[in-house]
Chain A
Amino acid sequence: MRESDTFPRVSDADLFAALRSVLPEEAVLTEAQARRTYESDGLSAYRQSPRVVVLPADEQQVQAVLAACHRLGVPVVARGHGTGLSGGALPLADGVLMSMARLNRIVAIDAHARTARVQPGVRNLAISEAAAPHSLYYAPDPSSQIACSIGGNVAENSGGVHCLKYGLTVHNLLRVRGLLADGSPFEAGGEGPDGPGFDLLALLTGSEGLLAVITEITVRLLPKPRTVQALLAAFDDVERAGQAVAAIIAAGIIPAGLEMMDGPATRAAEAYVHANYPVDAEALLICESDGTAEEVADEVARMRALLEAAGATEIRYSRDEAERLKFWAGRKSAFPAVGRLSPDYYCIDGTIPRRTLGEVLRWMYARSREVGVDVVNVFHAGDGNLHPLLLFDASKPGEFERTELFANDILRKCVEVGGTITGEHGVGVEKIDAMCGQFAAPELETFHGLKHAFDAAGLLNPGKAVPTLHRCAELGRMHVHHGELPHPDLPRF
């Protein structure tokens, strides 16, 4: 993408005046103190104060901001609620940080058609809360669902603990309204099963704010299952737990949730929330079943048999809703629980084929001992989506760098076994270098071409998600023939 220092420089005075002419005074923040609030997202290792923060309250204001910035050649970073874990909403020093938080209205719920039309700043959980009186809910449930915005979810294609059965964000969207970089409005998808034209709805989902600013989202709602039950299975070996996961799926069961925690994660969670977890286990599986009472009874019995056959040392059922929530409490608070073990931790996100779970975990523990960085694993086992938490102390010189190197090793391992460098947290700024290992030059050129098709001036969130070929070449991760880049005819930004 275009480097931000190549933008022609408009003066602060001109930029602020242009923004104040389309927004109320209090919606344009220029004071250092106020801007600092927005200097990072959930990945606080990266910080940058924006030149100015704007707080539009409706689509018209968003459009006016985009049109002004387009005219002045100023880059814009959209921000939801700043819970992203890859630095996607990291501001640019010379750019506008546009918070979408004030667009927080649930526009309409159509219970009969099972849809909700919402503004992008609505919190993920607020949709399910608003749908609850109709016995409906919005299925994708990232662990951050009380805080993250649905606009951010669309931009990251976020997942949750139930996405093996109910899909990711992309599977639960019907339509989005968005604005191109110059402010022109468009819609992708439709209220029906598909939309006209190319599947831009899919292309926009997970595009990390680089292609358009999303201003309205229509999501699909699902009927709430009648019965939900969870199983807790302890193993004395992570590989055996990994095999149990494969066995459940091979048996034709798609559990509503299938999560794994390793021994250290289990013990940290237990110490934190007292979920009554078996603390001597080396791996803990939480398997959830939902449906009618009959379906759940049937599925739980089949899962139990498979878990036993796979060598579970202990299996428990949730007997009521309170107990089910208790099973989940430890899992859901695993991150803060691990946070108590160490002054800092770094959360990695990579996906691997499930069959390589045991192999990859074994490799990771060995590597952890070699590099002297502790690792704790809590993850979406059913999807093969790993979230290793690397423990370090940022106040000790060199520790963060060592941790980052280990993180990159892990991502490389994910690619090597046939997986990917990010399952759900996105590339942002964090994984921009890892992209050079995942894709070759022609694929990266295609991404740049798409960016250019949507945003020829390169003003929306530039520098994120897709590395320049030069950057990859400098890292030595890309083969550049005779010093020539492919397609010199294509614009670079």
Chain B
Amino acid sequence: MMIDNESAPVRVVLYEGDGADPLDATDRAGVLRSLLDRGYMVSDARGGTGGALAASAGERCFIVIGQFGGGVAPRLEDGAGGAQIATCDISGLSPDAVLSAVENARDGQPMNQPGAWKPWFPVIDYDRCTNCMQCLSFCLFDVYGVDGDNQIQVQNNDNCKTNCPACSRVCPEVAIMFPKYAAGPINGEPVSDEDLSREKMKVDISSLLGGDIYSRLRDRSEAAKSRFSKERDSDKALGERKRCLTKLAAQGEIPEEVLASLPSPEEIARKAEEAKEKANAALAANRSSD
């Protein structure tokens, strides 16, 4: 589940200063690992340094954990009155038990859910981007738009189809990254000359595929689906469909969910036209301001 942009989820502070016994390095690492893997942000406050993350205006909820001893945690209050601070004694607790204690202390405050959502969205390298609008014309899911200066922008992260890096393949400048992608340069590795020439060849992806990429993919997906429906109860049909889609996905790097959720041909035509108009309008505005 996503939480909204304004609220900053709980931050855990591991306190080992005056009044608390220090943890040994292995225990410290165990506690951090279990909290981070659950999605918490954790500040290890040793040395009293603020670290890289000074408390920011949006932060309202802190949980201070430490080996305070005797099972009693001190009561803390924000002098300015804005933040809620809970404390937790973790003396003798295993990392899992620390996590449970923190979950209890969180008391329903907003929290993210690692695993429930994969942060998959295009990230533009503006050092490379030439504002050509190919990505805007290509994407059917309104992920891209332009800002007030007609500069390309990722506007609707949430619309992006998980694991689909297709738009990065359309970009002639290799400017679109998906940091969670497995391979370079899409994952953010430096772009080589070889990458660049390979991507330049793919500039007109629709002509490369011999027509409208979306119609073709959709036709093939429909064919796979109808074969499946005729042999509904057969494991063989299931296997066949899976093989067919896997092959398609492997060829075009388009995930099955995207193929399955492609809109109707009419809708595709309408959306493609809309995206093209938006791109053309932005390009024209950029030309006239040059």
Q: Do A and B come from one complex?
A: no
Q: Report B's interface with A, CB cutoff 8 A.
A: none
Q: Report A's interface with B, CB cutoff 8 A.
A: none
